[in-house]
Amino acid sequence: MLFKLALILIVFFSMVSVINAEDYNADQVIQLAKELRLSKHPSWVKLMHYERNVGSLPSLVSAIHDDSFFNSKDGAFDAYAELEATIRAFHTPISDGAVDSHAQCKFPARLLWLKKSLGKATDNLPMVYCPKYTKWVLNGSIKSISVVYASGFLGNPASYYGHILLKLNSRGSNGATRLFDPSVNYGAIIPSNEDPITYITKGVFGGYDGGFSQTDYYFHNRNYSELELRDIWEYEINLEKKDVDFIAAHAWEVLDKRYTYYFFRKNCAYRLAELIEIVDGVSILPSNRLFTLPRTLLQNIYDSRIHDKPLIRSVDVRPSRQSRFYKKFNLLTRSERSELRKVVDNGKGIFFEVNNTLSTDSQVKVTDTALDYYQFAKSAEIMTKDEADNLHHKALVRRFQLPSNNGTAVKSSLNPPHIGRKSSYVQVGVTYNESFGSGYSIRIRPAYYDVLDAASGQVKNSALTMGEVGLFAQSGKVRISHFDFLKIESVNASSTNLLGDTADAWKIKFSTQQQDLSCVDCLITRLEGDYGYALNLNNSVLVSAYFGGGVQDNRKGSGRAFIRTSAFAHIKFTSSFNMLLGVQLPKQLDGSNGQKNRYVLEARQRLGINSDIRFSYEENKSRQYGVNVGYYF
Amino acid sequence: MYKFEKTFVVLVASLLFMMSFSVFAADGQNRVGSGPNPYRDCGIGAAIFPNHHVAATTSNVIWDLGTTAVTSATMSPETCSNVHAKTAKFILDNYDNLIEDVAKGEGEHLVAALDMEGCSSNKQADAVTMIRGNIGSKISLAEYSQKAKIDRAADYYYAVTFASSSCLI
């Protein structure tokens, strides 16, 4: 009996001794973290968003300048101080009524990472229940994460290159309930009524704070798909549950925290990529140090792998109202289109005369297309809101009188934006000019596309260029032929020719360029713009006509102001060969006669996904021919 | 005798009809799918989306939107305690999509609203039929076309919550 008692006591005390050995207090945990050099660990650096402070001290500074993100007063630049303060804060006893403000509730990703890094040393941390955070992670029901891409929108400079946000997919998420999934969005915080010049200048040079906000996904779905008519793409990331939880936890930490917003590099795509890169083994940020394009990020994500599996599990699309309307319209038969035209063109919302011969199915199709048309017409400002709402209501009344659909939703045929070429472009070739002979031409376009090479996810028949430079080399001398600060060509090509769906088109360009082709030393700076209409003659030919003008600095008799008419045709011979033809007829307003008619032809043959060859002819006081090979990177 | 039977049947039928109407009316007063206008009375109306122009200029600048209205609704007086704020806000914000969905008898937004109300998926077809009948009986009336969006959304909200009460998971 005594032997048994002694044995029990020995076992008991040895257990107590073991528990004591694991019973770390805050100081001991900090010491262990110090020995493991956790403050220099890449994950800690990423969690704290430390960035290199080139050329000055301290060498690392957090991108977040928000005191509430740090537990130490020096946390913004002292990784060790912040680590130590964070461990201490995690050990702080829970105070009544303030659970959500406990450090474990505010920084759940740091907690997850420290538990993983320090193991049993963190077992003695107080157990804290965090109601708000638990609600954020949907009681642990987040099953995956999707990167969401809204295609480019030429109506707002901040959206030219598309927009990226993050969606947390709940466990029950399917085609319906995902509208309520939480989404995380990064954007600049801009005062209301900011003027455009200030908006662009401060956006580019870091004059605005930026930050993450969260809202239900349907907000973005409505904003982009219905109001701005932009297609939305969802890229579901192939991560394990623990990694999904880690990202969701870190997203919670950075919500409402203040960064500095930079339109070109440290923008929505950059900050969203950082959130995903918090997972070990994920490297998706584009290497370009000047700018981060959302589409390039998508391509990086799509091409990445984790644990020998593709990083992307699935790609899904939400076509915009405009895309849905065009898709439905294109599926209508000739007689159905004719009926739709009658309905739309009469402008009174009168559906189906008594003697109508359309079948019930056809009437359903026509009415459904009309519903899309009126919503599209409202968002595109083809008609006033009241007018569109009134006609939409009449279409609805008619639709209620027809049978319900039965799972016959129209499937989208849009190409996802990650497909196709890269976004930056370099071109080299030979050029012959009648006035000064032959030479080499070089063209570098950081981004994004021109009329001939618009890829999936970009606006067809349109162009968007920033910072394109063209050079001409001859006899050892290199001269600038043009530098485009900004060039936008927007063609809303009509797919239907329905009432109001006439395709307006506009162009704007701010550049430094040679006055004409007869001179290589006549650079002028010019701001020019045109407005007109475009028309799809068929699936292969689009024609457009414009009236416009411009102002420029007067050099060698170039004159200061002009107006012009112009016309263009874009012809697609095959899926890989297309051509642009154009003529511009200017008239100087100051009698200087400095501008001559301009005629252009440019033909593009795609060689591979990331390469092409182009032949060009241009006449503008002199004639010039060129053959150039291009590469996308 | 035959006449008596016929009168009896008519009386019973009338009584049943009146009872069912009373139940429906009582239903409308006291349970889900009834009560105060969630938008005018419970503070959810502030969540109307900006128009196209404003949306365009804030497309990359979305900040601090989305939860305020729900919070205010849940903090409203007791009469609003039965209002399902999240569903109500969703219906107001997405009315155009939702009314089209019910007109067509199917659609993602309508399913989302029913899911939010806890309507099991195998009973949603019946719920949709009920909502379609409910809204369809009103939409062609002249007075409906005169209604403000906020009141149309309230009608829709009542139709969804009433239909959902018969298909809870």
Q: Nearest Cβ partner of B61 from A155, A189, A256? A: A189
- pLDDT value at residue B110: 95
pTM for the model stands at: 0.83
Beta bridge partners, A581, equal A569, A601
Q: Nearest Cβ partner of A219 from B65, B135, B145? A: B65
The span from the CA of A135 to the CA of A142, in Å, is 11
For chains A and B, CB pairs below 8 A equal 132
- pLDDT value at residue A492: 74
CB of B49 within 8 Å of a chain A CB? The answer is yes
B 13-32 near A (Cβ less than 8 A):
none
Average pLDDT of span A159-173: 84
Q: Do A399 and B104 touch (CB under 8 A)?
A: yes
Label the pairing between strands A577-588 and A142-150: unpaired
Query: Helix or strand or coil: residue A425?
Result: strand
The span from the CA of A611 to the CA of A632, in Å, is 6
CB of B137 within 8 Å of a chain A CB? The answer is no
State which H helix or E strand residue B16 sits in.
helix B2-30
- pLDDT value at residue A356: 73
Q: Which residues of chain B neighbour A219 with C-beta distances below 8 Å?
A: 49, 62, 65-66, 93
- pLDDT value at residue B3: 46
CATH 3.90.1720 corresponds to the domain A138-318: yes
- pLDDT value at residue B64: 26
Q: Which residues of chain B neighbour A224 with C-beta distances below 8 Å?
A: 59
What angle do the packed helices A241-254 and A268-277 form, to 10 degrees? 130
Mean pLDDT rounded to a whole number for chain A: 89
Per-residue pLDDT of chain B (169 residues; tens, 9 = 90+): 444 444 444 444 444 333 333 333 333 333 434 456 667 766 665 433 333 333 333 333 333 222 233 333 333 444 566 668 889 999 999 999 999 999 999 999 999 999 999 898 899 999 999 999 999 999 999 899 888 888 899 999 999 999 998 887 6
The residue of chain B with its CA nearest to that of A407 is B106
Kindly state the DSSP code that residue A571 receives in the 8-state scheme.
E
Quick check: A274 and A265 in contact, CB under 8 A?
no
The span from the CA of A504 to the CA of A487, in Å, is 17
- pLDDT value at residue B84: 81
Residue spans of alpha helices (H) in B94-123:
95-104, 108-116
Kindly state the DSSP code that residue B44 receives in the 8-state scheme.
G
The span from the CA of A449 to the CA of A488, in Å, is 10
The pair of structure tokens assigned to B37 is 């206008």
Tell how far CA A471 is from the center of its chain: 30
Q: Read off the pLDDT of residues B79-126 as tens digits, 9 standing for 90 and up.
A: 566 668 889 999 999 999 999 999 999 999 999 999 999 898 899 999
Q: Which residues of chain A neighbour B59 with C-beta distances below 8 Å?
A: 150, 153, 156, 158-159, 163, 223-224, 228
Q: Do B66 and A381 touch (CB under 8 A)?
A: no
Determine which of B48, B49, B53, B61 to mutate to test the interface with A (most A C-beta atoms within 10 Å).
B61
Query: Helix or strand or coil: residue A50?
Result: strand
Q: Do A175 and B108 touch (CB under 8 A)?
A: yes
- Measure in Å the smallest separation between the Cα of A35 and chain B Cα atoms: 41
Determine which of A160, A171, A192, A218 to mutate to test the interface with B (most B C-beta atoms within 10 Å).
A218
- pLDDT value at residue B53: 33
CATH 3.40.640.10 corresponds to the domain A425-632: no
Higher pLDDT among residues A308 and B76, named by residue: A308
**What ipTM describes this predicted complex?**
0.83
Answer yes or no: is pLDDT of A580 > 60: yes
Residues 6+ apart with CB under 8 A from B49: A219, A222, A223, A227, B55, B93
* Phi, psi dihedrals of residue A296, rounded to the nearest 5°: -65, -40
Q: Nearest Cβ partner of A177 from B55, B62, B115? A: B115
Higher pLDDT among residues A611 and A201, named by residue: A611
Q: What's the helix, strand, coil split of chain B in %, to 5? A: 70, 0, 30
- pLDDT value at residue A545: 96
Average pLDDT of span A430-449: 94
**Where do the domains of chain B lie?**
81-169
Q: Read off the pLDDT of residues A106-157 as tens digits, 9 standing for 90 and up.
A: 999 999 999 999 999 999 899 999 999 999 999 998 999 999 999 887 766 6
Quick check: A422 and A630 in contact, CB under 8 A?
no
Higher pLDDT among residues A462 and A499, named by residue: A462
Average pLDDT of span A513-524: 90
Average pLDDT of span A409-436: 89
The pair of structure tokens assigned to A616 is 């060009």
**Where do the domains of chain A lie?**
19-126, 138-318, 321-401, 425-632
